[in-house]
């Protein structure tokens, strides 16, 4: 059973079924759920580990605003927990900062 909103609830452990799936099967299951939730082509499963950690990455240029992103990830995690395994925890893969000015921070130029 998934207990949402209870900070004292015991953290669920991945099921035997989730453990027995190969990495590719776990990733394919998550990809299938993303497609069903209309995120196909926007988010992809980078990896799905035995311990329940699922890392998602952006596809293409679609990047939601920070205000929307958190809600999307929480809703996705809830649906994945209900559909695949109660121990799933969703992470978002780091996306490279393409801002040229921030890249210069801390760089010293010899004269």
Q: CATH number for the domain including 85?
A: 3.30.70
User: Closest Cα to residue 34, out of 56, 19, 61?
Assistant: 56
19-33, 36-50, 53-67, range with greatest mean pLDDT: 19-33
Contact 54, 92 (CB under 8 A): no
Judged against a pLDDT cut of 60, whether residue 72 lies above it is answered with yes
DSSP string, 30-51: HHHHHHHTT-TTTEEEEEE-TT
pTM, rounded to two decimals = 0.77
From CA 15, how far away is CA 86, in angstroms rounded? 8
In this structure, is residue 9 part of a structural domain?
Answer: no
Phi/psi region, residue 52 (left: phi>0; alpha: psi -120 to 50; beta: rest), is: left
Give domain status of residue 109, yes or no. Answer: no
Strand partners, 91: 55
Q: Is residue 105 part of a domain?
A: no
Mean pLDDT (the chain) is: 84
* Total count of domains within the chain: 1
- 90, 73 contact by CB (below 8 A): yes
- Domain containing 77: what range? 16-94
Neighbours of 66 (CB within 10 A): 7
Q: Does 106 map to a domain?
A: no
Domain assignment present for residue 54? The answer is yes
Q: Say if 111 falls within a structural domain.
A: no
Task: Please determine, for residue 1, whether its predicted confidence score (pLDDT) is greater than 60.
Answer: no
- Name which residue leads in pLDDT, 91 or 64: 91
Report the C-alpha gap between 84 and 71 in whole angstroms: 20
Q: Evaluate whether residue 7 is within a structural domain.
A: no
Domain annotation covers residue 67:
yes
């Amino acid at each position: 059973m998934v207990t949402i909103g209870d900070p004292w609830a015991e953290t669920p452990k991945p099921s035997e079924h989730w453990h027995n799936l190969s990495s590719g099967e776990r990733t394919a299951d998550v990809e299938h759920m993303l497609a069903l939730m209309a995120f196909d082509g926007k988010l992809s499963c980078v990896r799905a580990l035995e311990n329940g950690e699922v890392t998602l990455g952006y596809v293409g240029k679609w990047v939601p605003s920070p205000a929307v992103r958190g809600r999307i990830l929480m809703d996705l995690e809830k649906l994945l927990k209900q559909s695949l395994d109660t121990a799933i925890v969703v992470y978002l893969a780091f996306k490279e900062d393409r801002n040229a000015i921030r890249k210069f921070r801390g760089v010293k130029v010899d004269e």
